[in-house]
Amino acid sequence: MKKLITLSIAAALTCATVLAGCGKSAEDPVAATNTKTPVAASSESSESAPQTVSTPTPTPVTYVYGTASLTYAEYYSGDVTSTEGFDAVTSATNKKNAIMSNMYTDFVDAETNAAGYHILGVKNVNVAVPEDQADAYAKINPSFVLNGKEAPAQFKTVSISGDKASYSETTFHTAAVVKDATTSLSTSSNWGDYLVCLYDTSETHLRNGREDDFDINSAICGIIVETSDGLKVGLEALQSIWVQPYEFSFNISKDSTRNTRISGWDNLTELAKLEGKTITKVFYIMPDATYEYDIEGVYVKPQYKGAAITAKRSDATFTLSDSNFKNMQKPVLTVTYTVGSGRQAKRTVVLTADLVSGTATYTADLSAIDLSEGGSFSASISSDNFADITVTVE
């Protein structure tokens, strides 16, 4: 019996050896399921396996908030098409330096600024500054006043690199979007080459008097005009923004004939781009809110590039130096008699006539005026396709 048991064990061992040699190795999927020891992957599978890279979580930035004086280039940064043309507006007098409470100027006093002063930008602008850079920002911009950690409704965010500060686009708080305002355009005014007026209808936000119980009042910070093709231009105080902000004006040339309050215009490279375009949006920016006006469209008529036109007067007859108006659409001649100056001036229109090519002489009705008052005559030509042309009356 012992001999038979021994042979049976030997046979079993021999069978196991044969089966192992027939491919049932530990790497076989079926055999591998019966082992508790993990088998290392081949070098080929290791190379093809995706590698997991851990990304450190960025530390959130904690901001503090305050106010600061910013130049116009800083104030409009990120909000307009370009800020490269901003420098400063030069006032021709030392007056009106405090007419708008948030106007940032270099005015000191009437004696120091006897010849005028510069409008540099906007003061009391809400800014967000990284908390750990607040002291550094205060050194860069000494006008910075820290208010705390509560975010205002509207602000610009400051970034600091070295000893320079840069500013993000404004986080706007839009208080209202007005879609039914009416507009008018003057291309020959005492405020600049162009004067645009917006009139409230169903809503009343725009200050058009001297009272401050309007949403948009003398604390105004800025105005952005946007054209139908996306051009955005920022306007500046006293050059374009006035104490009655329902109206704004701008020049496209250095000529200050129409606005003697300014001796040095600013940002003309951008303002000139408005010529021939249609303004469709106007954004009035207050310290803590912005009011958007979506308007039907104000076409900024191109300036007339022809030779200067003059008129000679003989009693009631006015003879123009040019009689070719074929390139003008619906040209109209207007002659005005003015007594006095400024807001107290008395103006009387004595002639309104459609201009006809080939005709240079037009007759006015002077029965409504008194020439002994010592007034003066002025004339202009308006048309559908050109800005008004000032005609010098000799």
pLDDT at 102: 98
CATH fold label, 310-393: Immunoglobulin-like (2.60.40)
Higher pLDDT, 262 or 38: 262
pLDDT at 16 over 80: no
Cβ within 8 Å of residue 91, ≥6 positions away? 97, 116, 117, 118, 119, 238, 261, 262, 263
Q: What percent of the chain has pLDDT over 90?
A: 75
pLDDT at 256 over 60: yes
Mean pLDDT of the chain: 87
The one-letter amino acid code at 120 reads L
- Ramachandran angles phi, psi of 46, nearest 5°: -65, -40
pLDDT at 23: 39
The one-letter amino acid code at 100 reads M
Residue 333 CA from chain centroid, whole number: 36
pLDDT at 14: 39
Task: Summarize the confidence of residues 75-96 as an average pLDDT.
Answer: 95
Rounded to two decimals, the pTM is 0.80
Band of the pLDDT at 170, cuts 50, 70, 90? very high
The one-letter amino acid code at 70 reads L
Cβ within 8 Å of residue 269, ≥6 positions away? 82, 84, 85
CA 269 → CA 71, 195, 316, distances in Å?
A: 17, 18, 42
From CA 71, how far away is CA 298, in angstroms rounded?
Answer: 28
pLDDT at 373 over 70: yes
Give rounded-to-5 percent helix, strand, coil for the chain.
Answer: 15, 35, 50
pLDDT at 48: 52
DSSP summary character for residue 241: B
Least confident of 44-58, 150-164, 339-353: 44-58
From CA 245, how far away is CA 224, in angstroms rounded?
Answer: 12
Residue with tokens 């600013």: 266
pLDDT at 21 over 70: no
Q: What are the residue ranges spanned by the domains of the chain?
A: 63-167, 174-299, 310-393
Higher pLDDT, 93 or 282: 282
pLDDT at 38 over 80: no
Q: Residue 79 in contact with residue 69, Cβ under 8 Å?
A: no
